[in-house]
Amino acid sequence: MSPPSLFHQTVVALLVGALSGIIAYFATLTLPLTQHMRTILSIGLFFSITLTIFFYIFKKFKQAIQLLRPGYMNLNSGEVFKHMSSQELYHLSKVVDHFQHIMTKQLKQALSQKEYLNALLTSMSEGVIAVDRNEIIKHINETGRSMLNLNQETGIGFSIQETIRIPKLQKLILNSLQENKALVEEIDIYHNNQTKHLLVHTTPIKGNQRPSGTVAVLNDVTPLKNLETLRKEFIGNVSHELKTPLTVIKGFSEILQQTSLDLPPKTQEHIQTIHTQAERLGTMIEDLLKLAQLEHETIPTTEMSLKTVIESAVALCAPQAKSKNISIVINCPQSIRLNLNHSLLSQSLFNLIQNGIKYSPPKSHIWIKAVEKDQQIILTIKDEGIGIDRTHHGRIFERFYRVDPARTRESGGTGLGLSIAKHIIQAHKGAISVKSELGHGTTFCVSLTRN
């Protein structure tokens, strides 16, 4: 039979205290006391006896714990247990068995989760780097080592500055820790005369007051970049090769127009169609060559007033606006100055304004407004046209994409105007977006930085 547990001793103490209180209550019946005083005296006796027993049990338990302190380094010798009673050893063994069971279960779960996590990270096609708040590498998978050309001896336990000598990656991870937000950046790595393009996503690990670290996920986009380069070169080369025969076609169509006065009207119409389509194809080829140039070359810039560029673009659009009686309102301070390429940015704004004129009703307005916000210049071009449905917003800056193909062809468009505008703005290290609803006009928003 096992000795009584601490719980059983506590129950006994309560029962003894309750019995003592009842006996005390009946004992007071023979005394000349009021009912209220008898109740108080009985409760007092109950608590007195119960607390006395509790203190005794607590003292015994405390003595058992104190016996463990001096001998915790000599558990194997058994010295710690020689002064303990069998009852105390029994309860202690129960507690130790219980905690051993819990710890064994948790350890197995932790090891299983660690193995699962290692298998998951190893099988990933993306590189993963985890660093703590001191920029010490805590984990890096095999794919990450391969992408960054690291050997097995370096990595975990070392700082990222001494392990990964890529300044852009170091700065990206540091910014993610300091700003406590996810960041994305494309980084180029040069190794053995080859360029590797990595798209890096960083996500901070939540801590108490500041991030306890950050995780960087590396995607190798080199194959996609190479395909994109081949596509751009192909379009540029084909456009250039088409330019010569197209010039010949346009030349002969002009000669035929001059000598076709005696030909039947239907023949004259066919000659005019050849000339019109040749001019349209020539415009498209010029646009493609301009896109290829923007994608492969760095544009020269000069500090100038933004308002001057806007006025040049508006002047180019003036004949079209006048033909539809459309008023163009400019609201741009002369003091806004930044590094620009006058001819290219003027071409970009011309395309955006021309788009507004083309799809706006007669006697409407186009507003051009520029404001300065921190280091950003926000330029908006707003019209009162037919608007663009939300389903097209994500694609209107793609090459040859048309919201309404029939309407675009009727107006003589090539489907490249907005794409050229976007590439020119990106060449200025800027960005462009659109806000529009069908039937409520369109607003193009261009953001440029002073630096």
Give the pLDDT confidence of 5-62 residue by residue, as tens digits.
555 555 555 555 555 555 555 555 555 545 555 555 556 555 655 666 666 666 666 6
Q: Is the domain of 197 the same as that of 130?
A: yes
C-beta of residue 136 within 8 angstroms of C-beta of residue 158: yes
Specify whether the CB–CB gap between 344 and 427 falls below 8 A.
yes
Distances, alpha carbon 367 to alpha carbons 212, 292, 295, 336, 419, in Å: 48, 31, 30, 18, 21
In-domain check, residue 108: no
**Residue 36 within any structural domain of the chain:** yes
Is residue 98 situated within a structural domain? no
Rounded (5°) CA angle 402-311-350: 15
Residue 430 is assigned to a structural domain of this protein = yes
**Contact call for residues 129 and 145 (beta carbons, < 8 A):** no
In this structure, the answer to whether residues 63 and 31 fall within a common structural domain is yes
Give mean pLDDT, residues 234-245.
80
| Lowest-confidence segment of 126-130, 374-378, 410-414 by average pLDDT | 410-414
- Considering the domain architecture, whether residues 367 and 409 belong to the same structural domain is answered as yes
Model's pTM, two decimal places?
0.55
pLDDT, tens digit, 9 for 90 and up, residues 316-340: 888 888 999 999 999 988 888 888 9
What distance in Å separates the CA atoms of residue 433 and residue 446, rounded to the nearest whole number?
7
Residue 353 is which amino acid? I
Considering the domain architecture, whether residues 68 and 54 belong to the same structural domain is answered as: yes
Same domain, residue pair 289 and 328 = no
Q: Are residues 65 and 180 in the same domain?
A: no
Same domain, 367 and 420: yes
- 61 and 28 fall within a common domain: yes
- 347 in a domain, yes or no? yes
Beta bridge partners of 443: 382, 435
Same domain, 307 and 439: yes
pLDDT at site 237: 81
116 is a domain residue: no
**In a shared domain, residues 168 and 184:** yes
Q: Please count the other Cβ atoms lying within 10 Å of the Cβ belonging to residue 150.
A: 18
Q: Work out the pLDDT band at 180, boundaries 50, 70, 90.
A: confident
Among residues 56, 84, 112, the one where a domain terminates is 84
Q: Which domain CATH number covers 136?
A: 3.30.450.20
Residues 215 and 278 in one domain: no
What's the number of domains the chain is made of?
4
Residue 364: what residue type? S
| Enclosing domain of residue 411 | 302-449
- Mean pLDDT comparison of 79-88, 118-127, 311-320, highest-scoring range: 311-320
Whether the pLDDT of residue 367 is over 90: the answer is yes
Q: What is the dihedral angle through the alpha carbons of 183, 184, 188, 189, rounded to the nearest 10 degrees? A: 50
Asked which of 169, 201, 220 is the last residue of a domain, the reply is 220
Question: Residue 253 maps to which CATH number?
Answer: 1.10.287
Q: What residue spans of 124-264 are helical by DSSP H?
A: 142-148, 160-163, 167-179, 222-258
* Same domain (yes/no): 408, 442: yes
Domain boundary among 296, 322, 344: 296
Model confidence pLDDT, tens digit, residues 288-308: 777 777 777 778 889 999 999
User: Mapping DSSP to helix (H, G, I), strand (E, B) and coil, where does residue 395 land?
Assistant: coil
